[in-house]
Structure 1
Amino acid sequence: MTVTEAPAALAAALRDRVDGEIRFDPGSRAAYSTDASNFRQVPLGVVVPRTPDAGAEAVAVARDFGAPVLSRGGGTSLAGQCANTAVVVDWSKYCTTLESVDVDGRTCVVQPGIVLDVLNRRLERHGLRYGPEPATHMNCTLGGMIGNNSCGATAQRTGKVVDNVARLEVLLYDGTRFWCGETTDEEYAAIERRGDPRAAIYRQLRALRDAYADEIRRRYPDIPRRVSGYNLDSLLPEHGFDVAGLLVGSESTLVTVLRAELELVPVLPERALVVLGYPDIAAAADAVPAILPHEPIALEGVDAKLIRDEQLKHLNPDALGELPQGKAFLMVQFGGETAEEARSRAEGLLHDGHRADVRFLGDPVHEDELWHVREAGLGATAHVAGRPDTFEGWEDSAVAPERLGEYLRRLRDLYREFGYESDTGPALYGHFGQGCVHTRIPFDLYTADGVAAYRRFMERAADLVAALGGSFSGEHGDGQSRGELLPRMFGPEIVAAFGRLKAIFDPGDHMNPGKVVAPAPLDDHLRLGPDWAPAEPRDLRFGFPHDGGSFAQAVNRCVGVGRCRQHATEGGQVMCPSYQVTGEEEHSTRGRARLLFEMLGGHGDETLRRGWRSEEVKDALDLCLACKGCRTDCPANVDMATYKAEFLSHHYEGRQWRRPRSDLALGWLPVAAAVVAALRLGPLVNRLPGLARTVAGIADRELPAFAPETLQHWFRRRGPRGDGARGKVLLWPDTFTNGFHPQVGRAAVEVIEDAGWRVVLPPGPVCCGLTWISTGQVDTARRVLGRTVRLLAGHLREGGLVVGLEPSCTAVFRGDAEELFPADLDVRRLRNQTVTLAELLTRHSPGYRPPRLDVEALAQVHCHQHAVMGFDADEELLRAAGVRAEHLDSGCCGLAGNFGFERGHLEVSEACAERVLLPRLRAAGRETAVLADGFSCRTQIHQLDSGGREGVHLAQLLAVGLHEEGR
């Protein structure tokens, strides 16, 4: 019986012997079934070791059972090397230690799971950093970078990973373990004298090197970005018989890396960016050789097609305006110890004379924005509305920079021949200073003919690159995408040497089998493919208009880039709060998307067999806060909050009795609040919080108190005021403002009237349906929202604006409503005519002068505002009011509407708040205002801030200024 037939015994042995988390459940296997590539292979199980030694023990257990092993870092590989039917060892949760730093020697020792950005932040105080920086630097691990021989834009200055590794501690499948690096003849002799397994390996490596040295020198491309194949050239005498260098880029097919000693470079504190515009991308490539003598630290090429794709997806709008004229651009970055030095280097390029339109940027903010344009390339080109989806495959080929222009012209000819070229794509971009080209191609991976064309294109493209002396991979590795093609680049002798190398380290082919050596065909194990036949649901609650009405295509948006696996506490990204505090793949947006994809099946080896009834998917979605951060932060615009609501609606269909009581209590909160208000029961309910918690089945935390008087009651007593010179606006009395925090609404009425508007409110109870959406009671939400749209139709058809105060409810009108009613014109009017308070005062009130406030403020931006409306208008208004506001990079506050009140969520809710929000509040001065427009955010601050601070709405802050000015 094979291990694949008896996984239970393997799992039991791993649990018995390994200090770590052992996951052989269907949900975990589904979450790890693919990476960022076209391929899918369901693992045997997943091991999350707590220490490198525990990881080594996991390999020992696998060896006892003859099970294959795959080491995985961030899981963002684009060539399929991180998907296999194997025991997957995920280092990224626990093995994240920076073990030591040698400042004088400029080295450090790390464990394989440490994330690059985390490492570089820890090295900042020493004035050092690790040089290679892929676009995934915010979530890629050093172990993964070593496995793929990663590069990034900074490789122009620092080289590839292979150029920046001093030593590796490695483990062979047979248990042999040692540190390795460059080896002098004396060191080699000492190793050989020991007569141990390491000596035998070194002896075989030297024999291999001697046998193939001439062929290695002849066949290995002499270019900056040769990543394809094993690094046999590292064994040559001129490279110091560097065994660590040999193993870099081996994609977990030879050894398991337990630790690494890295070579560091000094931080260049100052930078300057020159952007050059050209008539086309090939002309930009032609200009590269003349720029290289100026020694830029980065030299990137960007196609106007990429720029257009980013404009369509509203990415980096400020940065795009900084580009010069042209249809292609070179971003040339210079560095120095001082700003003058960096600027002087940049001016040296400009004085050299170039036939290009030039922009010289000295502003670091604008430079960073433009750099984000380049780093967003993968996501920007993956899913663009109205166009075929694009895929990896030929996404990182490389040639000598001198031949780059020729290569791009011939590559576009190949695109045209295969029908892939159009006015809209594919976009070409990449690390042009080193001849590396990135692109995603509209392969048809759904039909037999399309897959056959994909194979023919890959073969032709491989022949083209080989003819130009290039490398199939210039950054991402071979994996399964290009492993089969390696003979076309290296010839039969070198490929035979690869096989001999594999036999030295892994004679039984247990390390990531089917990659690089004896690879699976490039059209096997496809994640899609002509045989993929998912169960496409027909009775969807949401319309998914951006995905052709298809839930399968919606969840297939995830391309695995892993931006949701955020480890930073800065960077302005909201998604994915539950991953940030758990470090669990299944609690990332990517992990959840993978489970939903697997839930639909269509592969014939389904791990999740119960469809909408899947408990594994429900468990993964349980810790989704529905913050909607992924809707904006994910490069592919995955909208997990909507997917969660869709899933829960089906999961409980026909069995509402299975729902948690909190779903009913919190989902029907608007009705309860209306009853409490009508019967004046607020004081009674407020005095019985324990009973309310028990009846509602919610977490043991303070409940928000019902207000003595609702906003609508107050407004009926008070009535509208002011001359209404600007016209009439409808202030939306959401449940939270109306029933719990009416003081926010009262302040808003004052501010809006001061701006010259006549305020009206709906006369009776109204609701947007948010609480039913967030608890997956979507049919009820549709009925509630439909009634609201009919109620507002007259006002909307007259062109009237609707002002939202609660960001989550405003986001329903601006986002969810159209998803629920994609063909309804009144819903479209509602989306277009709903504004935030800040938008009303800045975009629709010309000449408005806010009250002058000389205060400092911390702004906790609600997740839904970040994702749907944005915060630009608020920042503009605050500046005009004299408020010095710090936009907190805190992400979600952790309460997230119903989430933080549901049982089992309190620990995660509090942990989210403790990441950034609460520590920043504790550090702020007492006079600093805390801006929090979201009811959830204000509630979380009220309940968890030990200093007793209270969050205030923008309307309240402005109202204070009105009173102080006597307006």
Structure 2
Amino acid sequence: MTAGTGLPGVPRVDTAALEADLSSRVEGEVRFDAGSRGAYATDASNYRQVPIAVVVPYSVEAGARAVHVCREHDAPVLSRGGGTSLGGQSTNVAVVIDWTKYCQGVVSVDPDARTCVVEPGIVYDELNKAVAEHGLKFGPKPSTHSHCALGGMIGNNACGSSAQKYGKTVDNVRSLEILTYDGLRCWVGPVGERELEDVIAAGGELGEVYRRLRDVRDRYREQIRQHYPDIPRRVSGYNLDSLLRDDGIDVAELLVGSEGTLVTVLRAELDLVPTVPHKAMVVLGYSDIAAAADSTPAILAHCEPLILEAVGGELAHFIREQNLFAESLALLPQGESWLFVQFGGDTQQQADEQLDRLLSGLDKSTTDADVAVSDDPEREQEMLKAREAGLGATANPPDMPESWEGWEDSAVAPGVLGDYLRDLLALFEEFGYERPALYGHFGQGCVHIRIPFRLRSGPGVATFRHFVQRAADLVVSYGGSLSGEHGDGQARGELLVRMFGAEIVQAFAEVKDIFDPANRMNPGKVVSPRRVDENLRLGSDYRPIQTETFFGYPEDGASFHQGVMRCVGIGNCRNHGGGVMCPSYRATQEEEHSTRGRARLLFEMMQGHEDSPITDGWRSEAVRDSLDLCLACKGCKSDCPTGVDMATYKAEFLAQHYRHRLRPASHYSLGWLPALAQGARGAPGLVNAALHSPGLAQLGKRLGGVTPEREAPRFASSTFQSQWRRRGVAEPRPGDPDAVVLWPDTFTNHFEPHIARATVRVLEDAGFRVAVPRKPVCCGLTWISTGQVGTAAAVLRRTFRVLRPWLEAGTPVVGMEPSCTAVFRHDMHDLLPHDEDARRLHSQFMTLAEVLTERAANDWEPPQVDADAVVQTHCHQHAVIGFDADTTLMRKAGIDAEVLDSGCCGVAGNFGFERGHYDVSMACAEYALLPAVRRTSEETLVLADGFSCRTQISHGSPRRALHLAEALRTG
């Protein structure tokens, strides 16, 4: 079996032989399967190329061995970190080496010299955690700092907002351990002229490399000086200026930003900088984005800030339209565009004095309407969220066509930035690219933007190509750079000749020939680049399949495909801490188990391209396996900057995949749990005895697809609905002003009715009269999560009939279980977008905390609990409902709550009980939740409203978690 690369000068590869050799000789995960190749076919750019294979080495040595094996088979190689590149440099028809899973070590730290040595897969934030004890950090901080790898930062010469103070990555790299495709392995860095001559005189492979580099330097010296712009943010092209040092050359600097086209970086020695203990920030308002740019030189004349960032009015508009970071926008001063200027110092006084000097120099005051200041770190971070929302807010704006990168990081000198922006805006208008949302690193003249290129039609692609050519000529006319941060890749490689001229581009080719004469390192990027309009992820020939779906996707034009297209590759789902998304990635460190990886596979499943590795559509086992470890936690719904809803996509896929087919046993045993629970009402004791009898329990778990490590929850001796009927208290009527309906969800009703009783007492104490449905009702959650959405829809419609009098009267319905509440607040609308009863229930369904804080009598006060508490927020509540009402209620009740930022508990409904999921389920819990619970004192309450969360806590710790209603009853 062979694979064609489709690249000039690169032969077809015998993949069967390559796979055999890689598998037998490389210690790591060697993958030639369709799922892995599909997940790595794109990065965060407009481009798509299906790789030959993916290798995940267990060590740096194994990675080096993989390159050696690839050379023996003449196979191209692509090193990849976090895969967040926007220029297409992280996608190729090659063997992808993913360093991020295992090669993430800090080899050494020298606090005195302020240096460290790292492996290429270490994530930026994890490196800074490792060196924080020394009061140090790595300076340049990209917006993807939670998940970008240092190897990728070196490959792209990454920057970020902090480059204002610390420079680009190239300014912070001391030396690199490199491996060429031909096998030369060595450390490289700066060498003086005398040492350079000595290395050349010594001969050998290294001497020949240095001799040829010296020759390039000597022949192109004047052209380099003439054509390399003297601006802070020149990232395009190879760093040939590193060959023009006052004394010798710096090969490490030359290789930074070469995008994997020259060598493989095995380790890196980095400079570190002291952390800044105190900060202050001022935000300045302007009439428009160009006026903000005009002000930048004056600001820089008065100070040397940590950051100098810009947000344009259109970006703010998109943030408002999508209800992102409303609190952040509320903190901004008067204006239509803004500059964020942050200062740092060893003391707060030092930081504040710099801010005061700037305002004085600008003849501004803290009382001016267009000025907002802060020296509170939390407030500053809240302000900056408007800037950090840039990529997410502009990716899928609601009232604008799809927007794309392609000219998203050009840079000029700050002194001409205002004029450049006016000409750039005029160019947008000429090409009909409406409403550009500009933002960026204005202190260094770097502009960020996504543009509504029409990349689905031939004329649209042609216009895109013409635009970037004109834009390249424009930025060059201002002495700027095609790229000020993201690099060239395929997006700008073809345009380099317009910036540097033919001679310098020829010099690039000669440098490429020195390190990679066979053109096997990330071929087709930077040197001999593929056209800017080739290999597009969409393109005029893109024809995805269109099928009838179970969900309505009202937020995506009723299109499943458009929902999947929400993922633009930002990669926040690969972060290592904070928020809920993505628990399975955190447990496995696998691209295929990230939200992005799954979205990529669903994209490939739509078969819009003839070379798609996923050829069996909805029946794809590769897609099924990737989605199998999705917990359906919905964390991506809220935490993904573009609102990807993988839980819904998973339910849709399962519904399509198993349509008219036998399902896994767990879909029947766990998916039909509400029906089985109704059947157990007659003899709960007998059912419990059977479920916990050693022999029967194990047999039942085996037949039901349930993991043997989990104990089945015990049915209560009587359901809450039965207890309610026996209570014999007159219920309110629909329309009564103080009436509420208590929703008897399956979990509370059948397993923990004491929580419902506590909820009733709290509601009655607050002045409500409670009604409870007499007939069985269900939200359909377990059927939705197992993809039995037709059944779920029928269950919901039956529920509507039971609740109809209350729905027509507008009576609030109070939920105790967050996952059920989330169905009514989100899934139900997607499943039944045109059902009027669904609309009514959506608006009437409330959490206990919401009804108590929003509908209780003004003079009602919650009981005083006066206790400390550790709180696990249910992932569906985090993603769909929000937790503000709970926080308010707990504060009023005297509960000093530590709300854990621990992600999903790992049970997630049926997930944690299904066979094959136990290890991942527990890894999710051990990430933060269970260690935090185990650390709590006995006097500290453990609160968790979710049945799944309480189940996991009791399974993995000696503590029993309480529902908020139970805690309030103790007050």
TM bin, normalised by shorter chain, reads over 0.9
Letter in 1 for 2:341: V
Q: 1:380 aligns with which of 369, 380, 393?
A: 393
Q: 2:612 aligns with which of 596, 606, 623?
A: 606
Q: Does 2:254 match 1:242?
A: no
Structure 2: which 5+ residue stretches go unaligned? 5-10
Q: 1:360 aligns with which of 373, 376, 388?
A: 373
Deviates more, 1:136-145 or 1:272-281: 272-281
Q: CA deviation at 1:957?
A: 0.6
* Equivalent position SS for 2:268: strand
Q: Does 2:672 match 1:643?
A: no
Q: CA deviation at 1:693?
A: 2.1
Aligned to 1:965: none
Q: CA deviation at 1:239?
A: 7.2
Q: Does 2:754 match 1:743?
A: yes
Spell out the pairing of 1:687-726 with structure 2 (5 A cutoff): 687-688=692-693, 689-700=697-708, 701-720=710-729
Supply the distance in 1 between the matched residues of 2:893 and 2:327 (Cα, whole angstroms): 23
Q: Does 2:873 match 1:861?
A: yes
Supply the distance in 1 between the matched residues of 2:728 and 2:215 (Cα, whole angstroms): 93
Contact 1:732 1:761 in 2 (8 A): yes
Give CA deviations for 1:791-841 in whole Å, capped at 9, x if unaligned.
Answer: 223312212111111010000000000001112222112111111111111
* Equivalent position SS for 1:133: coil
Contact 1:683 1:708 in 2 (8 A): no
Supply the distance in 2 between the matched residues of 1:698 and 1:723 (Cα, whole angstroms): 42
Supply the distance in 2 between the matched residues of 1:67 and 1:363 (Cα, whole angstroms): 53
Aligned to 2:670: 666
Supply the distance in 1 between the matched residues of 2:217 and 2:89 (Cα, whole angstroms): 26
Q: CA deviation at 1:352?
A: 2.0
Deviates more, 1:682-691 or 1:136-145: 682-691
Give me the TM-score of the superposition, normalised by structure 2: 0.96
Q: 1:511 aligns with which of 502, 521, 537?
A: 521
* Equivalent position SS for 1:238: coil
Contact 2:314 2:436 in 1 (8 A): yes
Give CA deviations for 1:2-45 in whole Å, capped at 9, x if unaligned.
Answer: 66452111011101111111001011000000000000000000
Q: CA deviation at 1:692?
A: 3.6
Contact 1:32 1:83 in 2 (8 A): yes
Q: 2:227 aligns with which of 219, 227, 235?
A: 219
Contact 1:72 1:88 in 2 (8 A): yes
* Equivalent position SS for 2:670: helix
Aligned to 1:28: 36
Supply the distance in 1 between the matched residues of 2:703 and 2:222 (Cα, whole angstroms): 79
Give CA deviations for 1:96-125 in whole Å, capped at 9, x if unaligned.
Answer: 000000101000000000000000011110
Q: CA deviation at 1:181?
A: 0.8
Are residues 779 and 162 of structure 1, via their aligned partners in 2, closer, same or farther at CA, if it must alter by over 3 Å?
same
Aligned to 1:484: 494
Q: CA deviation at 1:483?
A: 0.6
Q: 1:419 aligns with which of 412, 421, 432?
A: 432
Letter in 1 for 2:526: V
Give CA deviations for 1:822-881 in whole Å, capped at 9, x if unaligned.
Answer: 122221121111111111111222523111121111110001000000111111111111
Letter in 1 for 2:241: D
Q: Does 2:553 match 1:549?
A: no
Q: Does 2:41 match 1:37?
A: no
Aligned to 1:625: 631
Supply the distance in 1 between the matched residues of 2:723 and 2:361 (Cα, whole angstroms): 71
Q: Which runs of 4+ in 1 moved over 6 A?
A: 721-725
Aligned to 1:394: 407
Contact 2:193 2:247 in 1 (8 A): no
Give CA deviations for 1:736-765 in whole Å, capped at 9, x if unaligned.
Answer: 010011111111111111111111111111
Structure 1: which 5+ residue stretches go unaligned? 962-967
* Equivalent position SS for 1:459: helix
Are residues 18 and 694 of structure 1, via their aligned partners in 2, closer, same or farther at CA, if it must alter by over 3 Å?
closer
Are residues 722 and 551 of structure 1, via their aligned partners in 2, closer, same or farther at CA, if it must alter by over 3 Å?
closer
Supply the distance in 1 between the matched residues of 2:12 and 2:856 (Cα, whole angstroms): 67
Aligned to 2:136: 128
Contact 1:234 1:240 in 2 (8 A): no
Letter in 2 for 1:661: A
Supply the distance in 1 between the matched residues of 2:427 and 2:842 (Cα, whole angstroms): 44
Letter in 2 for 1:364: P
Contact 2:192 2:247 in 1 (8 A): no
Supply the distance in 1 between the matched residues of 2:554 and 2:782 (Cα, whole angstroms): 22
Spell out the pairing of 1:118-157 with structure 2 (5 A cutoff): 118-157=126-165
Q: 2:114 aligns with which of 98, 106, 110?
A: 106
Spell out the pairing of 1:242-641 with structure 2 (5 A cutoff): 242-293=250-301, 294-354=303-363, 357-421=370-434, 425-538=435-548, 540-568=549-577, 571=578, 573-641=579-647
Are residues 154 and 770 of structure 1, via their aligned partners in 2, closer, same or farther at CA, if it must alter by over 3 Å?
same
Give CA deviations for 1:349-368 in whole Å, capped at 9, x if unaligned.
Answer: 12223567000012211111
Give CA deviations for 1:161-205 in whole Å, capped at 9, x if unaligned.
Answer: 000000001111100111111111232133123211011000110
Supply the distance in 2 between the matched residues of 1:702 and 1:419 (Cα, whole angstroms): 62
Aligned to 2:796: 785
Supply the distance in 2 between the matched residues of 1:771 and 1:733 (Cα, whole angstroms): 15
Contact 2:306 2:344 in 1 (8 A): yes
Supply the distance in 1 between the matched residues of 2:420 and 2:798 (Cα, whole angstroms): 59
Q: CA deviation at 1:722?
A: 10
Supply the distance in 2 between the matched residues of 1:888 and 1:726 (Cα, whole angstroms): 37
Supply the distance in 2 between the matched residues of 1:858 and 1:239 (Cα, whole angstroms): 60
Aligned length: 950
Contact 1:721 1:753 in 2 (8 A): no
Q: Does 2:49 match 1:49?
A: no
Contact 1:564 1:576 in 2 (8 A): yes
Q: CA deviation at 1:134?
A: 0.4
Contact 2:262 2:521 in 1 (8 A): yes
Q: Does 2:901 match 1:893?
A: no
Contact 2:13 2:74 in 1 (8 A): no
Percent identity for Structure 1 against Structure 2:
59
Q: 2:891 aligns with which of 862, 879, 885?
A: 879
Are residues 802 and 236 of structure 1, via their aligned partners in 2, closer, same or farther at CA, if it must alter by over 3 Å?
same
Spell out the pairing of 1:763-774 with structure 2 (5 A cutoff): 763-774=774-785
Aligned to 1:210: 218
Spell out the pairing of 1:161-240 with structure 2 (5 A cutoff): 161-238=169-246, 240=248
Supply the distance in 2 between the matched residues of 1:88 and 1:952 (Cα, whole angstroms): 48
Give me the TM-score of the superposition, normalised by structure 1: 0.97
Contact 2:13 2:73 in 1 (8 A): no
Q: 2:863 aligns with which of 831, 851, 865?
A: 851
Contact 1:722 1:753 in 2 (8 A): no
CA RMSD of aligned residues (A): 1.4
Supply the distance in 2 between the matched residues of 1:327 and 1:354 (Cα, whole angstroms): 20
Q: CA deviation at 1:430?
A: 0.4
Aligned to 1:964: none
Q: CA deviation at 1:682?
A: 4.6
Q: CA deviation at 1:407?
A: 1.0
Give CA deviations for 1:873-901 in whole Å, capped at 9, x if unaligned.
Answer: 11111111111111111101001110000
Q: CA deviation at 1:784?
A: 0.5
Q: CA deviation at 1:679?
A: 4.5
Aligned to 2:927: 915
Aligned to 2:970: 960
Supply the distance in 1 between the matched residues of 2:493 and 2:23 (Cα, whole angstroms): 34
